[in-house]
Every structure is written in structure tokens, then in C-alpha cells.
Amino acid sequence: MRKTLAIVALTGSMAVTGLALGPTAAQAASTGATSATTVVNWGKFFSGDRKAYTFGRTWKSGGKVFTKWHGVDRPGGKKGWVWFEFYQHGSWHKFNRAWDGKVTGAWSGKGIKKVYTFTCWAGKFDNCGKKYRIY
């Protein structure tokens, strides 16, 4: 994983399982390694209309993957939505969280191999931005 993240940071663009990580993702995904964990700082990942965005960090420690995220959207009565899709124990899972204004959230799990995220605004499936791999 460290090699892949280093390659992404160096080249600025890489295809990972059919998902192109462009310059924005390469700039957003930076690594900081310690002896026990590798931390990936990611974001700002905008909704399709740029009215909401998410950012955060993902790391693995003790066999468990942790994600702490922050969401920001424009005021006006509509919500921002963050989606997480992850591969765990041989199958894909996904969930979302909604917010209005600013929010911080966190989640974790064991056996996670891949994590993707994207941001929507004004509805669960409305104005969704690009999907990015964050772990």
C-alpha cells in the first residue's frame, strides 16, 4: 500500500482498479508513515455542483482501518451527503451520512482492503462528484 501511495504522489496520476486518480486526488492523498501506521490525508472532494465537500484522513492500526472525515456545505436548507464504499471480508459494502452546515464523523472496521468516497449535495444521489480511493 505504501508503494502504491508513493507512486500516486510521485506521478500525479494512476489508474487503480478502473478508477483514474487525477492530479486533484494525487494532491489530496499525501502520506505520513510511522512505525505502526500509515496515514492518508484526503480531500477536498467536491460534489458535482461544488456546493459541498468532504476531507479527512484514513489510517490502519492494529489490523483495523480508521476514517475521520469532515463535511462542509453551503447553507440553504439542503444537505450534503458523503458516501463510503469499502471492500471487507470478500464483499463490497457502502453507507452514507448526511449533514447541513459543517460536521465531523468517524468510522472504522477490521478486514477492510479498499475504501472509496464521493460527495453529493441536495440529495443522496444528486449532484454527486467524482469517486476517489482513500485507502
Per-residue pLDDT of 8-37, as tens digits, reads 333 333 333 333 333 344 444 444 444 457
pLDDT given for residue 42 in this prediction: 97
pLDDT given for residue 68 in this prediction: 98
**CATH number of the domain within which 55 lies:** 2.60.40.150
Question: Cα 106 from chain centroid?
Answer: 12
* Cα three-residue angle 35-41-47, rounded to 5 degrees: 160
Inside any domain, residue 13 = no
Inside any domain, residue 56 = yes
Inside any domain, residue 32 = no
Inside any domain, residue 29 = no
Count of domains for the chain: 1
Inside any domain, residue 15 = no
Inside any domain, residue 8 = no
Q: How confident is the model at residue 4 (pLDDT cuts 50, 70, 90)?
A: very low
> Which whole-number Å values give the CA distances from 27 to 3, 31, 32, in the listed order?
16, 11, 14
Which structural domain, as residue segments, surrounds residue 109? 41-133
Q: How confident is the model at residue 75 (pLDDT cuts 50, 70, 90)?
A: confident
Inside any domain, residue 18 = no
pLDDT given for residue 39 in this prediction: 93
The pTM assigned to this predicted structure is 0.73
Structure-block grid coordinates of residue 122? 441536495
d(Cα 85, Cα 119) in Å, to the nearest integer? 12
Least confident of 34-43, 74-83, 94-103, 112-121: 34-43
Q: How many CA atoms lie within 13 A of 34 on its CB side?
A: 7
Q: Is the pLDDT of residue 95 over 50?
A: yes
Inside any domain, residue 5 = no
Among 108, 93, 99, residue whose Cα is nearest residue 79: 99
User: Cis bond leading into 79, ω under 30°?
Assistant: no
